[in-house]
Amino acid sequence: MTSDTEYAIQARGLTRRFGDLVAVSNLDLDVPRAGIYGFLGPNGSGKSTTIRMLCGLLTPTEGSATVLGLDVTGNTSLLKPKIGYMTQKFSLYGDLTVRENLEFIADIYSYGRSGRNARIAELLADYDLEAQAKQLAGTMSGGQRQRLALASAVLHRPELLLLDEPTSAVDPRSRRDFWAKLFELSDAGTTILVSTHYMDEAERCHRLAILDRGVKVADGPPAELQQNTGMTIIEVLSDYPSRAQSLLAGLPEVRSVTQLGVRLRVLVPSHIDSPLELVSAVLRDSGFLAECKMVDASLEDVFVAVTRDGETSERAA
Amino acid sequence: MNSLIRLLAVMQKELRQLRRDRITFAMIVGIPIGQILLFGYAINTDVRNLTAAVADQANTHLSRRFISELRQTQVLNIGEPVSSPEQLEAMLRSGKISVGVHIPHDFDRRVMDARPDAHLLVDGADPTILGVANQLVSMPIAFDTRPVPRVAERSLQVRPYYNPERRTAVNIVPGLIGVILTLTMMLFTAVAIVRERERGNLELLINTPVSTTQLMIGKVVPYIGIGLIQLALITAVGKLLFDVPIRGSIVELYVAAFAFIAANLALGLFISTVAKTQFQAMQVTFFILLPSILLSGFIFPFAGMPVFAQYLGEVLPITHFIRLTRGIMLREASLAEMSNELLLLFAFTAVAMTAAVLRFSRRLD
């Protein structure tokens, strides 16, 4: 099958319900091999549920998915050795040391004794954990724990890494280091699927799917998504930003207004003619001192444009 | 080969975690020693020193001698004398005494003829006390005035085998091994899977190639060793403090314990796959522990229970184990003579383990 080589993950109509709640709805996915694919979405958007379905932890209510050419709804025992999964919550053993945790994982993946120790030494060095080798995992900092979790997820050199909000509990510096590691892994040919609610992280992905309440509302490379928002972005610098925001948000032509410090970002659909003049005139007429200019869309603008109020039409290519 | 490495990995992980868990580690030693001291000293079905009072309305040489003989039995702890049977009844009602002895005016004459000599007023609400009172009734009163003791009229004579001194500890300790092992073994494994689920470890584990069987067996095996250590502790303390014998083969005792420990661990694992939280797991464990104490023959003789309760008791592994330990330790019986009890324990283990493996879901839904 050609799809085996082209895509690491393919899903069609993937749906998962918990009682009345539809956590993931009719999701189609094509995740190419050897890239970093991001899931961007707020909490409760279905990111974790999707990742769990893809590694065989949850059975889809409807639809199908193939991961590395294997069906996830059936017996997943052939799939397990090929994927590495990093859970949202730290799931290694807090009462074991770093080395003991890695030894356990290595034994589970059937490394021989000599191969095991060499691989662990390599990981401890790579993930800057040599000083913590004898420390109990439960007593480490968030950043250290996250490095340990990644080290154990890649220990058996999986073809596909599934990372569920890996950076939600670490400081910015650790996040930067973490992403440097992800790029190294990706360059070495590992396919990575990572979920996040950070825009800056989403921007680094090779390709991105935005999820909103279980529905995929955008899918494409971040730059492409930014070019194709279908919105004109106007930045407003005004003397009373909060009041200006309420005023502009009431206009029928305006899709959304977001305040960023003293600045406002106003999204106006592209089909509206001369939006800059429209916004400037409204503010001037109401007595605001305002400076307006058109700017390029950020990923945050994309996010706001596709997710607001559940207006969920496919906007990107 | 790979599956053996995985099995060993799970076992090593369990042992490492156990070593760091000081409270659990303390429980392994503390529960057996604490329980054996408690049960060994507290439970005594060979009742002595019952609180008692005497209303001696005869107050003759003979009646005083009768009272002094009652004292010498050590069964009754006779306090200050009272004057009337009504007073005895009042004391009985208020709980001040368990037994009242009423010696009527005509005691001396009664001794000579066929009427009963005196009356025992007994708090019969407790069958054990009533039983002791009945023993007192058959106490021979060998007065000079009546040379023929009544005991000669009996047609049956008791010859107590295996525990001639009637020490309760001899009967309790072999059963106590079963109770302690039921409690600790079931509790350790009942929380085993649930704890991993609560801490999030399970989500990682079920995404690895480790199989359910490897996981289950790997979690159980270290505790078999711990159970056998507990057995050694209990039998040692039983021997040192209560002089409880092991008359049969020690090896056979350990074989029986191995089968019993495995049965409880498997049952614990099954509970672990049913319970959602550690708290629930503990509740279910205690739900099983109570009938294990009451219906197993540990305290109350099995034969005295209603048929329905006996069936329930037969389902519990501890019932069969107590028969084995009492047989081996006290009656010098061999396993070969009680092979069906041992086989039942192995069968129970197989069923519980299979159920646990089948119930364990490798998915989160």
Q: How far apart are CA B350 and CA B358, in angstroms?
A: 12
Does the ipTM surpass 0.90?
no
Same domain membership, residue B230 and residue B279 = yes
Mean pLDDT score across all residues of chain A: 89
Same domain membership, residue A149 and residue A264 = no
Residue B364 forms part of a structural domain: no
Tell which phi-psi region holds residue A113, choosing left (phi > 0), alpha (psi between -120 and 50) or beta. Answer: alpha
Picking from B18, B202, B203, B214 by the largest number of A CB atoms within 10 A of its own CB, the best residue to mutate is: B203
Residue B157 buriedness (CB in 10 A; 0-12 / 13-18 / 19+): exposed
Residue B342 forms part of a structural domain: yes
DSSP code of A20?
T
Closest among B80, B72, B73 to B52, alpha carbons compared: B80
* C-beta of residue A73 within 8 angstroms of C-beta of residue A65: yes
Same domain membership, residue A198 and residue A267 = no
* C-beta of residue A56 within 8 angstroms of C-beta of residue B363: yes
Q: How far apart are CA A255 and CA A238, in angstroms?
A: 19
Same domain membership, residue B197 and residue B298 = yes
Picking from A104, A135, A156 by the largest number of B CB atoms within 10 A of its own CB, the best residue to mutate is: A104
Partnered with residue A31 across adjacent β-strands are: A9
* C-beta of residue B229 within 8 angstroms of C-beta of residue A127: no
Same domain membership, residue B324 and residue B276 = yes
- The Cα-based distances of A76 to A53, A194, B202 in angstroms read 11, 21, 16
Interface contact B17-A96, CB threshold 8 A = yes
Q: What is the pLDDT of residue B127?
A: 79
Q: How far apart are CA A210 and CA A141, in angstroms?
A: 30
Residue B65 forms part of a structural domain: yes
**The pair of three-digit structure tokens given for residue B337, joined into one six-digit string:** 């003579």
Task: Please list every residue in chain B whose beta carbon sits closer than 8 Å to the beta carbon of residue A60.
Answer: none
Same domain membership, residue A85 and residue A39 = yes
Same domain membership, residue A266 and residue A203 = no
Same domain membership, residue B176 and residue B104 = no
Among B103, B122, B153, identify where a domain stops: B153
The torsion angle over the Cα atoms of residues A85, A88, A94 and A97, rounded to 10 degrees, is 40
Same domain membership, residue B342 and residue B253 = yes
Report how many domains make up chain B.
2
Interface contact A81-B209, CB threshold 8 A = yes
**The pair of three-digit structure tokens given for residue A113, joined into one six-digit string:** 């004794």
* C-beta of residue B44 within 8 angstroms of C-beta of residue B88: no
Residue B365 forms part of a structural domain: no
Same domain membership, residue A182 and residue A118 = yes
Partnered with residue B26 across adjacent β-strands are: none
**Closest-CA residue in chain B for A158?**
B208
Q: Which residues, 6+ apart, have CB-to-CB distance to B35 below 8 Å?
A: B176, B179, B180
Interface contact B16-A56, CB threshold 8 A = no
Q: What is the pLDDT of residue B141?
A: 58
Q: How far apart are CA A138 and CA B19, in angstroms?
A: 16
Residue B306 buriedness (CB in 10 A; 0-12 / 13-18 / 19+): exposed
User: Which structural domain, as residue segments, surrounds residue B34?
Assistant: 2-43+168-359
Residues of A in CB contact (< 8 Å) with B are 52, 55-59, 76-77, 80-81, 83, 85, 87, 89-96, 100, 103-105, 107-110, 136
Least confident of A184-188, A275-279, B47-51: B47-51
Same domain membership, residue B148 and residue B204 = no
Q: How far apart are CA B299 and CA A135, in angstroms?
A: 49
CATH number for B58: 3.40.1710.10
Same domain membership, residue A205 and residue A249 = no
Partnered with residue A237 across adjacent β-strands are: A263, A291
Distance from CA of B211 to the nearest CA of A (A): 9
Q: How far apart are CA A257 and CA A236, in angstroms?
A: 10
Which amino acid is it at A217? Answer: V
Residue A105 forms part of a structural domain: yes
Task: Please list every residue in chain A whose beta carbon sits closer than 8 Å to the beta carbon of residue B204.
Answer: 85, 87, 91-92
Listed in sequence order, the DSSP H helices in chain A are 2-6, 47-54, 98-108, 113-126, 142-154, 172-187, 199-204, 222-227, 241-249, 275-285, 299-307
Same domain membership, residue A141 and residue A64 = yes
**The pair of three-digit structure tokens given for residue B212, joined into one six-digit string:** 């359910």
Report how many domains make up chain A.
2
Which amino acid is it at A75? Answer: N
Query: Helix, strand or coil for residue A33?
Result: coil
Q: What is the pLDDT of residue B139?
A: 66
Q: How far apart are CA B6 and CA B302, in angstroms?
A: 44
Residue B160 forms part of a structural domain: no
Same domain membership, residue A132 and residue A276 = no
pLDDT in tens, A26-72: 999 999 998 999 999 888 899 999 999 999 999 999 999 999 999 99
Which amino acid is it at A193? Answer: L
CATH number for A234: 3.30.70.100
Q: How far apart are CA B49 and CA B45, in angstroms?
A: 12
Same domain membership, residue B143 and residue B244 = no
Among A217, A238, A262, identify where a domain stops: A217
DSSP code of B264?
H
Q: What is the pLDDT of residue A206?
A: 94
Same domain membership, residue A252 and residue A138 = no
| Stated length of chain B | 365
Q: How far apart are CA B189 and CA B221, in angstroms?
A: 11
* C-beta of residue A238 within 8 angstroms of C-beta of residue A71: no
DSSP code of B329?
I
Residue B242 forms part of a structural domain: yes
Stretch (H or E) spanning A196 = strand A191-196
Q: How far apart are CA A108 and CA A149, in angstroms?
A: 15
Same domain membership, residue B228 and residue B328 = yes
Residue A240 forms part of a structural domain: yes
Partnered with residue B197 across adjacent β-strands are: none
Q: Which residues, 6+ apart, have CB-to-CB distance to B331 below 8 Å?
A: B161, B162, B247, B248
| Of A85, A90, A94, Cβ closest to residue B207 | A85
For every residue of A126-156, DSSP letters joined together read HTT-GGGTTSBGGGS-HHHHHHHHHHHHHTT
Distance from CA of A221 to the nearest CA of B (A): 29
Same domain membership, residue B69 and residue B175 = no
How high is the mean pLDDT in each 10-residue block of chain B (365 residues)? 89 92 88 88 76 90 86 85 90 89 87 78 82 74 50 65 80 91 91 89 91 91 94 93 91 97 95 92 92 89 88 94 94 93 96 93 79
DSSP E strands in B14-118: the ranges are: 50-56, 76-78, 99-103
Q: How far apart are CA B146 and CA B66, in angstroms?
A: 13
Count Cβ–Cβ pairs < 8 Å, chain A vs chain B: 74
User: Which structural domain, as residue segments, surrounds residue A74?
Assistant: 2-217
CB neighbourhood size of A65 (10 A): 22
Q: How far apart are CA B241 and CA B236, in angstroms?
A: 9
Q: How far apart are CA B286 and CA B175, in angstroms?
A: 18
| Of A94, A100, A110, Cβ closest to residue B6 | A110
Same domain membership, residue A131 and residue A70 = yes
Among B153, B180, B210, identify where a domain stops: B153
- The Cα-based distances of A182 to A79, A166, A178 in angstroms read 21, 11, 6
Q: What is the pLDDT of residue B256?
A: 97
Q: What is the pLDDT of residue B148?
A: 47
Higher pLDDT, A316 or A74: A74
Q: What is the pLDDT of residue A308?
A: 61
If contacts are CB pairs under 8 Å, which of residues 8-27 in chain B contact chain A?
Answer: 8-9, 12-13, 16-17, 20-21
Task: Please list every residue in chain A whose beta carbon sits closer than 8 Å to the beta carbon of residue B2.
Answer: 110
* C-beta of residue B31 within 8 angstroms of C-beta of residue B38: no
Same domain membership, residue B325 and residue B207 = yes
In angstroms, the first-to-last Cα distance of chain A is: 25
Same domain membership, residue A249 and residue A187 = no
pLDDT in tens, A194-234: 999 888 899 999 999 999 999 999 999 999 999 888 889 99
Residue A303 forms part of a structural domain: no
Distance from CA of A183 to the nearest CA of B (A): 23
Same domain membership, residue A83 and residue A106 = yes
Task: Please list every residue in chain B whose beta carbon sits closer than 8 Å to the beta carbon of residue A79.
Answer: none
Residue B102 forms part of a structural domain: yes
| Of B203, B209, B365, Cβ closest to residue A91 | B203
Partnered with residue A238 across adjacent β-strands are: A290
Q: How far apart are CA B55 and CA B105, in angstroms?
A: 10
Same domain membership, residue B67 and residue B14 = no
Q: What angle do CA A168, A170, A175 make, to 5 degrees?
A: 90
Residue B163 forms part of a structural domain: no
Task: Please list every residue in chain B whose beta carbon sits closer than 8 Å to the beta carbon of residue A102.
Answer: none
Same domain membership, residue B27 and residue B69 = no
CATH number for A62: 3.40.50.300
Distance from CA of A313 to the nearest CA of B (A): 31
Among B91, B125, B153, identify where a domain stops: B153
Q: What is the pLDDT of residue B324?
A: 95
Which amino acid is it at A78? Answer: L
Q: How far apart are CA A227 and CA A243, in angstroms?
A: 30
**The pair of three-digit structure tokens given for residue B41, joined into one six-digit string:** 């000293």
Distance from CA of B289 to the nearest CA of A (A): 29
